[in-house]
Structure 1
């Protein structure tokens, strides 16, 4: 995202996640505010993902979507998916960090995958 205020908000969210975990009081408001920047930037995928994210957190008081696997081929070697070991905070931090660089095709692909996971949950 190009907006410096949005980037500052992303940094604030990530810092709060590191320090206090998923504190629904401030986190939901911050994600809603970040969504406004996504609307202004005209990024419909991000708008939806952020809405699904805060609705999911409101409903479950946590972020229950596992972090995306970078290397799906490793599953056979160690017998388990890497992403299942990540905490809800780590998965949410990864999703929020994707917002910083929407020009990266990998980030957009991951946002699409999070959207599908949130819709299916």
Structure 2
């Protein structure tokens, strides 16, 4: 994200998670704020990823999507295997790191994979 306020919110979430403070309500609120900044930057992949992430957190009370594989998952069955039974903090940390620097091509590609996983999880 280019917006410095969005970057500060991303850093705040990352710092809290590193300190074992996974405050769901605070995270969702901050993701919604970051999404407002992404709307201004007109990046639909990021905007969608943020919306799907906070909706996922609100409905499941945890981040249950695993880190995307290096090779894209083709089938719905493969995507379904990339789900965790417990809060996947490592995956959430990775998701947040992707948002910080969108100039890296692979970050957007991985955000697209997260988007697919969020949608597959809800179906």
Bigger mean CA offset, 63-72 vs 27-36:
63-72
Q: Which runs of 4+ in 1 moved over 4 A?
A: none
In the TM superposition, 1:52-67 aligns within 5 A as 52-67=52-67
CA contact (8 A) 1:21 1:89 kept: no
CA contact (8 A) 1:22 1:62 kept: no
Q: Which structure carries more helix by proportion?
A: 1
Superposition TM-score, scaled by structure 2 size:
0.81
In the TM superposition, 1:39-118 aligns within 5 A as 39-70=39-70, 88-118=88-118
SS at match of 1:20: coil
Return the alpha-carbon distance in structure 2 between the equivalents of residues 113 and 71 of structure 1: 10
Task: Name the larger-Rg structure.
Answer: 1
How far does the alpha carbon of each residue in 1:85-119 deviate from its partner, in whole angstroms, 9 at most, with x for none?
A: xx611101111110111111100100000000001
Consecutive unaligned residues of structure 1, counting only runs of 5 or more, are: 73-80
CA RMSD of the aligned region, Å?
2.2
Superposition TM-score, scaled by structure 1 size:
0.83
